[in-house]
Structure 1
Amino acid sequence: MIDVAHEAGVSAMTVSNVINGRPGVSAETRLRVLATISKLGYQVNLAARHLRAGRTGAVGLIVPDIDRPYYAQLASRLAKGVEKRGLHLVVERTGGDAERELEAISFGRLRMYDGVVISPLRVDAADLDQLHFETPVVFIGERPVPKTFDHVMMDNVGGARQATQHLLTTGSRRIAVVGGRHDDHVDDMPSLRTRGYRQAHVELGVQVDEQLVVEVESFDPGAGFQAVRRLHESGIAFDGVFALTDAAAMGVLRALADLRVEVPRDVQVIGFDNGKETEFLVPRLSSVEPGNETMADRVLELLEHRVAAARDGGKDAPDPVTTIVTAQLALRESTR
């Protein structure tokens, strides 16, 4: 530990805090210490190695939030899968904060699990490229990760393009994208889905009115509700709404109902995620089905292979793979 502290230019106490995932260390310092540990090949202790060998009986799921329906339903799908394998799932929430994401992937925290599924929101590929995990990990989500890791992701661009194409080909011409981005050159969820929205317009020869790209800070029902209210109060006409999440679409439907706008006669609405709640809204919500069950199955398959290889001392470990699951539309009453 002293060697790590000297190399990283920090105290031994700071190294201990980083190893054990304790708070109070900046993201920059935490990353420097983790990278130094990987560089020096520092081993925490023998007990930790036994735990990392796959004897904890737990699989970790590290996600930004647990109050959004998407993450709650993802946890449920993964829990069912790991329970069939005689394990149990533990969920950690990072709040989408870079420091807390780095805390969650510290050696002291990861050694509590046989394997870990990670959905990063702030830590980028360059940061992860400096790290080495002895605990088997599989990444999910839109953020790019180094090719040295398994990564399972949905087709955000393709799904958004399908949703927008459907609205355009069924008569909508002024489609508001709730949660969209004016600058969509970042590989995060809202940017990727906005990219698909724009591609559909280009392919069908329809101009995008930038006033219809409504940026929001969150993707919950309140954000969708307020986005529609702002459009209405600004006098911006629209005859379709593509909400980047089903949760935001719920707020969109409520706002349109309050304004006495009929869906789908006057305004079509489509969401993204195809959560269980879509069947029970009024009207039933059309949505992009990103392959939820397929993604969960693939994540568990990859993790199972990694855990088995780790128990065998790393022999016959499969090459890391990136899996993009195909999206399709689940059409219901909110579209024509």
Structure 2
Amino acid sequence: MSITMHDVARLAGVSIKTVSNVVNDYPHIRPETRDRVNSAIDELGYRPNLIARGLRSGRTGVISLIIPDLRNAYFAELADVVMRAADAQGLSVIIEQSGADRDREIGLLGGERKQKVDGILYSALALGEDDAHILNDVTTPLVLLGERIFHGPTDHVTMQNTEGARAATAHLIALGRTRIAVVGAHRGEVIGSAGLRLAGYREALADAGIAYDDELVGEVGGWYRSGGAQAMRLLLDSGAKFDGLVAFNDSMALGAMRVMQEAGLRIPDDVAVIGYDDIDETRYTLPTLSTIDPGKEEIAEVAVRFLLERIGNPGAVIEPREHLAAYRVVVRESSTLPQN
């Protein structure tokens, strides 16, 4: 039988109204009374009716996370850490996939479904900086994730794409690798993960006095294993010679590694490899994959905190904040010194 507010009131020796005030964080309650009610709630395992509470407070205790695609391991793991960060704040999360479709990305920001959430964490892929004005019409508290829209009208939490890719490339250069290939480029892209990471790769080459070679840059469509495998097949078929590989995400690195191994290349002896995102699978591949940890946990925690501040201060003018999470190079077996 479910525990009710009446049961809590009876055990605590207070009125139902007092229990309701405690549950809804009414400020003018004596500390000893609040403690007595909370002890009764804990002892009985009472769970408030969040729907009814939301109707009274105007809040639902639910936020929306809009991401491109859960098939991408990074977004799946980001969703996990966002849900844990939200849960620590007493929030539930609805996950919605946009499929990187422009119309759907715009559609998910409006409509009746947004009346069911207190705020939105929004990672766009189809929209860009020229679309930032669209966000001005969003009345629900909003925090941006990802790399497509900078300098928008609200908070933005993301990773250091250029710096991370530069560090990944510099790591291979420090091993003595001078012909470093790339998989994951998008032709003509400047703003976006692919464009920013290619910029970091080029900066590291320039810092080391190594000429950029367009023949070593593998372009892809989607950032999946299949894309990395296809890009690597094209690189090998072209006859390009390389002794290092920077993959713009871990999934593409895994696809490229499989193709290289099938071709008889040894990792890391012939080709040292590093990916990006530090997804869990990289710890268990053969060899284990070096990668860039982009700070997923920090991204989730800061984004949820920023969103809660906006939810808790309706109507307040909060100047847009930009937060870049710290990254680190994670060295594993795929980029150690060759064993001679």
Q: 1:160 is matched with which residue?
A: 165
1:100 aligns with 2:104: yes
Aligned-partner SS, 2:313: helix
Q: 1-side partners of 2:71 and 2:60: how far apart?
A: 27
Contact 1:193/1:244, CA 8 A, preserved across alignment: yes
Report the residue type matching 1:238 in the other structure: F
Q: 2-side partners of 1:296 and 1:54: how far apart?
A: 25
Q: 2-side partners of 1:183 and 1:67: how far apart?
A: 25
Q: 2:328 is matched with which residue?
A: 328
Q: CA deviation at 1:181?
A: 4.3
Q: Give the ranges of 4+ consecutive aligned residues of structure 1 lying more than 4 Å apart after TM superposition.
A: none
Report the residue type matching 1:163 in the other structure: A
Q: 2-side partners of 1:178 and 1:145: how far apart?
A: 25
Q: 2-side partners of 1:266 and 1:233: how far apart?
A: 17
Q: 2-side partners of 1:182 and 1:226: how far apart?
A: 16
Distance 1:87 1:181, change over 3 A: closer
Q: 1:150 is matched with which residue?
A: 155
1:139 aligns with 2:144: yes
Distance 1:170 1:134, change over 3 A: same
Q: 2-side partners of 1:217 and 1:199: how far apart?
A: 24
Q: CA deviation at 1:257?
A: 1.6
Contact 1:182/1:210, CA 8 A, preserved across alignment: no
Report the residue type matching 2:161 in the other structure: N
Q: How many residues align?
A: 282
Bigger-Rg structure (1/2)? 2
Report the residue type matching 2:108 in the other structure: A
Q: 1-side partners of 2:224 and 2:158: how far apart?
A: 21
Q: CA deviation at 1:93?
A: 0.7
Contact 1:182/1:213, CA 8 A, preserved across alignment: no
| Structure 2, unpaired ranges of 5+ | 1-53
Aligned-partner SS, 1:288: strand
Distance 1:192 1:211, change over 3 A: same
| Structure 1, unpaired ranges of 5+ | 1-49
Q: 1:72 is matched with which residue?
A: 76
What TM-score, normalized by structure 1, do the two folds share? 0.80
Q: CA deviation at 1:182?
A: 5.3
What TM-score, normalized by structure 2, do the two folds share? 0.79
Q: 1-side partners of 2:60 and 2:327: how far apart?
A: 35
Structural RMSD (CA): 1.8
Report the residue type matching 1:321 in the other structure: R
**Residue deviations 1:149-202 (CA, integer Å, cap 9, x gap):** 000010000000000011112111111110124545x21110100000000011
1:217 aligns with 2:218: no
Contact 2:132/2:152, CA 8 A, preserved across alignment: no
Aligned-partner SS, 2:255: helix
Q: 1-side partners of 2:280 and 2:128: how far apart?
A: 31
